[in-house]
Structure 1
Amino acid sequence: MFELSLLCPEGRVETLSDAFDALEALSVSVEDADAQTDAEQALFGEPGMPAPREGWQRSRITALFPTRQAADEAVRLLQAQDFFEGCSVLGIATVQEQDWVRLTQSQFEPVEITPDFWIVPTWHELPAAARRSIRLDPGLAFGTGTHPTTRMCLRWIARQGVENGAKALGRVLDYGCGSGILAIGAAKFGALDIDAVDIDPAAVEATRQNALANGVYLNAGLPEQAQGQYQTVLANILATPLKVLAPLLCAHVAEGGHLVLAGILERQAQELTQAYAPWLSLQVADSEDGWILMTARR
């Protein structure tokens, strides 16, 4: 593969990104060309919200192409366009083939959920303190236990299992299961009837493989597999889809059952409370690093 890098002013970022898309670039990234210098500019955006600006005052755009010929052709076509004025080619470099997913995951260390409950990657030894553990290979799916939202959900599961006994979780639905980490955590604390669903087939497969590696049984599939009511409904997604899913998720909560939601920023608590008010009364049950866990009981 070959990496083509351009330098462009802020006003050209979106146009060039669209042009790279039309030229069938495999990926496009934008960064501050002045990063690590006195001219570096902060540019922050919130999850689910549009970026405050299209780019930095001087942006470096990098596009990935499968062949050198495709990268050279992209340069030729872009330089002939009026919108390329003010832009320049920084160069074309060869990118060595690597399994980037595996490379990223190799940096994943054991994660403590409670003093005796740990998330441990398959390539690590179990910590001595781990009485319960999830052996995890997230594959291409979200959910390694390192994010605060995942840790809070697992802490809630562990607390329910320890304080209220093996049957406390009852029938469990993990909606948007990713790697299956929450569903597997529920199984580790006594749940026997578990549905784990996701819109991404790669997540469903990762969940099945991770369940097998942990010696637990669960039903993994697409969202239509979720049927009936559950004692515990878990959804670690993001605030916007959680609001859209409010009637569906609440309908799955059995009498006396629990709804557990994560992927919510502290400032989003009120809008989630209002979105779920027609069905259930949400409360903040945990918080970590600006994220919150919200729960309700029918």
Structure 2
Amino acid sequence: MFELSLLCPEDKVETLCDALDALDALSVSVEDADAQTDAEQALFGEPGMPPPKEGWQRSRVLALFGTEPDARDASRLLELQDFFGGCKLLGIAPVADQDWVRLTQSQFVPVSITPEFWIVPTWHEPPAQARQIIRLDPGLAFGTGTHPTTRMCLRWIARHGTQGQRVLDYGCGSGILAIGAARFGAAQIDAVDIDPAAVQSTLDNAKANDVELNAGLPDKAHGQYQTVLANILATPLKVLAPLLCAHVAPGGSLVLAGILERQAGELTAAYAPHGRLEVSDTEDGWVLMTAQF
């Protein structure tokens, strides 16, 4: 493969990326051309939401092509376009062959939730101290155990247990929280998500972990549960406040994640008409909020 490298201003990033897609680039990525210098810029949005801008003031656009002639043809065609004004060809270089499967796997190692509870990819042996494990590989749906919000939810499950409970995992993603609830004794588990791919991922991961649960779209959730888990984001959690609280049985627990520390006050206010929401765990700028009913 060959990498075509281009320099362009922020207002040309989207147009240039679209053009590269039309020229059959295998992949297109955008980097800060001033990264690792004093001119480096932060470009971020709320996790799970699109960034506020398409690129940086000086963006490096990288496109992969299968052959060198393909990359050179693409560069020549781009240089002839009116929109290429202000852009610059930085070069074309071969990309060394990689064992991409092995490289990807090397980035995912067993994750400790507690000293005895671990998330373990299928290509790793469980650590000797692991007494409870979830087998989970990276996939299309959110939730591999590496994100602080997932770890905090699983820690809560491990500390409080779900023995004999009816549990709801709302916004289940990969199904990791539902499987965690099963590992700690849940008697019945409903896992729901608006994304059919997440529902299928949950079913596949449950089967791989020998866990029985019900998975489906949100209308699959019905009645009340002793534990309701929702690891989403602050904005949808605020909208869902009446619905989620209605699903919590008397004496039950509501466990919410996907919340930044600065958003805790907003969530407390949104849930105040239904219950008293409190911060019960923090990690890397994220909080876990819970309420007892």
TM-score if structure 1 supplies the norm length? 0.84
Q: Within 5 A, what are the aligned runs for 1:204-243?
A: 204-243=199-238
- The aligned counterpart of 1:294 is 289
Give the CA deviation at 1:221: 2.0
Measured in 1, the distance between the counterparts of 2:143 and 2:126 equals: 19
Measured in 1, the distance between the counterparts of 2:141 and 2:99 equals: 15
User: Over aligned residue pairs, what C-alpha RMSD do you find?
Assistant: 2.9
Measured in 2, the distance between the counterparts of 1:205 and 1:233 equals: 21
Q: Indicate if the aligned counterparts of 2:45 and 2:52 stay in contact, CA closer than 8 A.
A: no
**Count of residues in correspondence between the two structures:** 292
Q: Indicate if the aligned counterparts of 1:173 and 1:226 stay in contact, CA closer than 8 A.
A: yes
Measured in 2, the distance between the counterparts of 1:97 and 1:223 equals: 43
The one-letter amino acid paired with 1:186 is A
Q: Indicate if the aligned counterparts of 2:6 and 2:61 stay in contact, CA closer than 8 A.
A: yes
The one-letter amino acid paired with 2:215 is A
Give the CA deviation at 1:54: 4.8
Q: Indicate if the aligned counterparts of 2:167 and 2:228 stay in contact, CA closer than 8 A.
A: yes
Give the CA deviation at 1:74: 5.1
Change (3 A) 1:54 1:120: closer
Q: Within 5 A, what are the aligned runs for 1:12-23?
A: 12-20=12-20
Report Cα offsets for 1:271-298 as digits up to 9, x if no partner: 1112222322211111011110011122
The one-letter amino acid paired with 2:265 is Q
Report Cα offsets for 1:128-152 as digits up to 9, x if no partner: 2112111222432221111111111
Q: Indicate if the aligned counterparts of 2:163 and 2:187 stay in contact, CA closer than 8 A.
A: no
Report Cα offsets for 1:145-203 as digits up to 9, x if no partner: 11111111011111111xxx723xx1111112122111011001110200112223332
Q: Indicate if the aligned counterparts of 1:175 and 1:235 stay in contact, CA closer than 8 A.
A: yes
Which region of structure 1 is more displaced relative to structure 2, 7-16 or 223-232? 7-16
- The aligned counterpart of 1:147 is 147
Pairing 1:244–2:242 present: no
Measured in 2, the distance between the counterparts of 1:232 and 1:189 equals: 12
Report Cα offsets for 1:227-247 as digits up to 9, x if no partner: 222111111111122223223
- The aligned counterpart of 1:41 is 40
Change (3 A) 1:96 1:275: farther
- SS of the equivalent of 1:228 reads coil
Q: Indicate if the aligned counterparts of 1:231 and 1:253 stay in contact, CA closer than 8 A.
A: yes
Which region of structure 1 is more displaced relative to structure 2, 48-57 or 76-85? 48-57
- SS of the equivalent of 1:260 reads strand
Measured in 2, the distance between the counterparts of 1:82 and 1:248 equals: 52
Which region of structure 1 is more displaced relative to structure 2, 61-70 or 102-111? 61-70
Q: Within 5 A, what are the aligned runs for 1:89-108?
A: 89-91=89-91, 103-108=103-108
Pairing 1:257–2:252 present: yes
Report Cα offsets for 1:61-110 as digits up to 9, x if no partner: 12456888876665455433333111123345676898967743442111
Identity over the aligned pairs, expressed in percent? Answer: 75
Measured in 2, the distance between the counterparts of 1:20 and 1:267 equals: 39
Measured in 2, the distance between the counterparts of 1:153 and 1:60 equals: 38
Q: Which blocks of at least 5 consecutive residues in structure 2 are unaligned?
A: none
- The aligned counterpart of 1:114 is 114
Measured in 2, the distance between the counterparts of 1:166 and 1:55 equals: 49
Change (3 A) 1:11 1:121: same
Measured in 1, the distance between the counterparts of 2:176 and 2:251 equals: 24
TM-score if structure 2 supplies the norm length? 0.85
Q: Within 5 A, what are the aligned runs for 1:55-70?
A: 55-63=55-63
Which region of structure 1 is more displaced relative to structure 2, 136-145 or 25-34? 25-34
Q: Which blocks of at least 5 consecutive residues in structure 1 are unaligned?
A: none
Which region of structure 1 is more displaced relative to structure 2, 5-14 or 285-294? 5-14
Measured in 2, the distance between the counterparts of 1:60 and 1:115 equals: 43
The one-letter amino acid paired with 1:271 is E
Measured in 2, the distance between the counterparts of 1:233 and 1:92 equals: 52
Change (3 A) 1:203 1:67: farther
- The aligned counterpart of 2:263 is 268
- The aligned counterpart of 1:283 is 278
